[in-house]
Structures are given as structure tokens and as C-alpha cells.
Chains A and B, each alone.
Chain A
Amino acid sequence: QVQLQESGPGLVKPSGTLSLTCAVSGDSISSPNWWSWVRQPPGKGLEWIGEIYHSGSTNYNPSLKSRVTISVDKSKNQFSLKLNSVTAADTAMYYCAIRYLSKIDPWGQGALVTVSS
């Protein structure tokens, strides 16, 4: 059974860089999946951030593309999210998830990141 676990700082200063890692267990990061990030501001809906294939190909949400980098670390079987120039609007629960064809499943439990000085 595939499991995902997000980790990273829970507090980031405005204008700083948000960095999260998603550790994958039960599957190889080199399997034919897209490794995805989705976020959810408190009390609001879901926003897709982007995804990466094991080859390194990426797709990003155009609204965030200028600030986002998603990368894969095959040696650690994990993938990462970096979001720079953060503001309070980037405060959210950040989920990593697997996409295979049209299915986004499973999801990690989420990591809450607060942007505040």
C-alpha cells in the first residue's frame, strides 16, 4: 500500500521560500505516476499546484508557475515543493498526492504551512 508523508517547516516568513518534502513508501518514485502537490487555505477549497514525472517533466498551475519548483530525489524516493516569495495568501494545508492517469490517489495527510513574521 502506497503511503505519502509531507514534512517541512510549519512557519515561513513573508518573502521567504516555502519548502516541503513528500516521502514515498510502498512504491518507487520511478514508477509511471505523476507526483503532485495540492494546497488548501484554511476554510477554503482545493488548489492544484503542480506535478512532476520521474523523468523530470513538470506541469504547473499558471497562477503559481513563476514561483514554484517541483523536483524529484530518486535516491531518497521523495519529491519536493519549493514556493518562493511567499505571502500570507500562501498560508495553507499542503498535500502531496499521486496521479495515475486521471486518478489522484492516494494523498498524504497534509502539512500546514503558515506565512507570518
Chain B
Amino acid sequence: EIVLTQSPGTLSLSPGERATLSCRASQSVSSSYLGWYQQKPGQAPRLLIYGASSRATGIPDRFSGSGSGTDFTLTISRLEPEDFAVYYCQQYGSSLWTFGQGTKVEIK
């Protein structure tokens, strides 16, 4: 089973700042099957990025994904008030989906 480790656990930033979230896999992951999800309190997760770098429908272009192999990054170029949430990376391999433990982006 591939384990995804996200860092940092919590990111304290101000609106307008840049957020960089990391997701590291215990072994190489197909970029085609690496995604990022946003979850706000009391809500279901929402797909942001799929295929490591493709934005889902309706996702603002301030969100971008990059990476390959074992290291992937989600970048939020300029934080908006609605972006403060928990972010999860996810991968698929060997008929099994796994999630990272999440990074909380909080208001500083």
C-alpha cells in the first residue's frame, strides 16, 4: 500500500499570501492518478486537482498542482478568505485509493 505523507500539518498564513502544500508518496505514483481535495468544516470534500496538475471544473486558476514520481505540490497563489480549509492529496494504485492525512490552512 502506498502511503501519502502531507506537510506541513498546519499552515498559518494571511489572505493574499502564497500557500505551498506538499504530498510525498512512499513509492512512485502515477501522475494520472494523483488528486487534491479541499474540505471545509461540515462539508464534503471537493475535487480541486486531478492528474496531478489539471484543475477540476469551476476551480479558480489560483490553484495549481505539480510534481511527479513521489513528490507532489499544491500551490494556492494568493489566498482568498474562502480558501482556508483542509486539503488532502489522494492516489490510486493496485486497485486501492489512499489519502494523505491532510494539511490545514488556517488564518494567521
Q: A47-B99, A62-B1 are in contact. Are A104 and B46 (CB under 8 A)?
A: no
Q: When the two chains form their complex, are residues A104 and B35 in contact, meaning their CB atoms are under 8 A apart? A: yes
> Which residue numbers of B lie inside 8 Å of A, CB to CB?
1, 32-35, 37, 39, 43-47, 50-51, 56, 88, 90, 92, 95-102
| Interface locus among A14-22, A79-87, A106-114 | A106-114
Q: Kindly name the residue among B33, B37, B44, B46 whose own CB sees the greatest number of chain A CB atoms within 10 A.
A: B44
Q: Kindly name the residue among A51, A61, A105 whose own CB sees the greatest number of chain B CB atoms within 10 A.
A: A105
Q: Which residues of A contact B101 (CB under 8 A)?
A: 45
Q: Which residues of A contact B47 (CB under 8 A)?
A: 103-106
Q: Which residues of A contact B34 (CB under 8 A)?
A: 102
Report Cα–Cα, A102/B54, bound state, in Å: 11
Nearest A residue to B101 via CB reads A45
Q: When the two chains form their complex, are residues A62 and B50 in contact, meaning their CB atoms are under 8 A apart? A: no
Q: Which residues of B contact A59 (CB under 8 A)?
A: 95-96
Q: When the two chains form their complex, are residues A103 and B1 in contact, meaning their CB atoms are under 8 A apart? A: no
